[in-house]
Amino acid sequence: MEFQSTVVNSQPQVSVRQYTVTTGSSDWSSNVCDCCEDCGICLCAFFIPCILACKVSQDNGESCCLPCLPGAMIALRTSMRSRYNIGGSVCNDWAVMACLPLCGLCQMAREQRIRG
């Protein structure tokens, strides 16, 4: 039985590439108090906010029933910020949805329409 000897003269070379990751965040396309910027969204939020909340939820890939859960609109706003890489915090999301819930809902709907 003969064995062939294989001698390794050099090691394989690994190519290293450097990638730059941009972590910059953007802002909302409109201000939270710009409710009248889109009259259709504004009227829907004023007269039938539950329908608009269901649409915003579904457009974000969530269940239409999500807005019925306590605190869910805060979570939805946080999820939307994450999806669109919008700066902010959960505390900010809570403040907007607790103090200006219809304005916050309008802002989320406008953002989806713009970025959609």
- What is the tens place of the pLDDT at every residue in 64-115? 999 999 999 999 999 999 999 999 999 999 999 999 999 999 999 999 999 9
The whole-number pLDDT of residue 15 equals 59
pLDDT value, residue 19:
43
Query: How crowded is residue 52: how many other Cβ atoms within 10 Å of its Cβ?
Result: 23
Angstrom distance (rounded) from CA 112 to CA 70: 22
- Give the per-residue pLDDT at 12: 66
In a domain, 76, yes or no: yes
Q: Give the mean pLDDT of the chain.
A: 88
Q: How far is the C-alpha of 62 from the C-alpha of 54, rounded, in Å?
A: 9
23 band by pLDDT with thresholds 50, 70 and 90:
low
Would you say residue 22 lies in a domain? no
In a domain, 11, yes or no: no
69: left (phi over 0), alpha (psi -120 to 50) or beta: beta
Domain-embedded: residue 53 = yes
Query: Quick one: pLDDT at residue 56?
Result: 97
Asked, for residue 20, whether it belongs to a domain, the answer is: no
Tell whether 111 is covered by a domain.
yes
Range of the domain at 50: 36-115
